[in-house]
Amino acid sequence: MNANRAKAIYEAKENIPVKLDGEQPVWIEHVDVENQMATVQIGNNPLETHTVRVDRLVES
């Protein structure tokens, strides 16, 4: 996915499923469009967040 799509998903009112590396469900918490990075929450654990390249995110 590209950074603009990740930002659109983050800003969307509806729930759009996203997976990290096509496997783990994540919630997008922040998108840095300039650097092509996103901060995501893994699953339902608010304490497990990672900053990853947006190209690792897959809309499912």
- Is-above-0.85 flag for pTM? yes
> How confident is the model over 23-50, as pLDDT tens digits?
999 999 999 999 999 999 999 888 999 9
Triad 31, 57, 24: Cα angle to 5°: 115
How far, in Å, are 26, 49 from residue 9 at the CA level? 12, 17
Q: What is the pLDDT of residue 45?
A: 87
Distance in angstroms (rounded) separating the CA atoms of residues 36 and 15: 22
Q: Is the pLDDT of residue 20 over 90?
A: yes
**Alpha-carbon torsion (53, 58, 59, 60), positive or negative:** negative
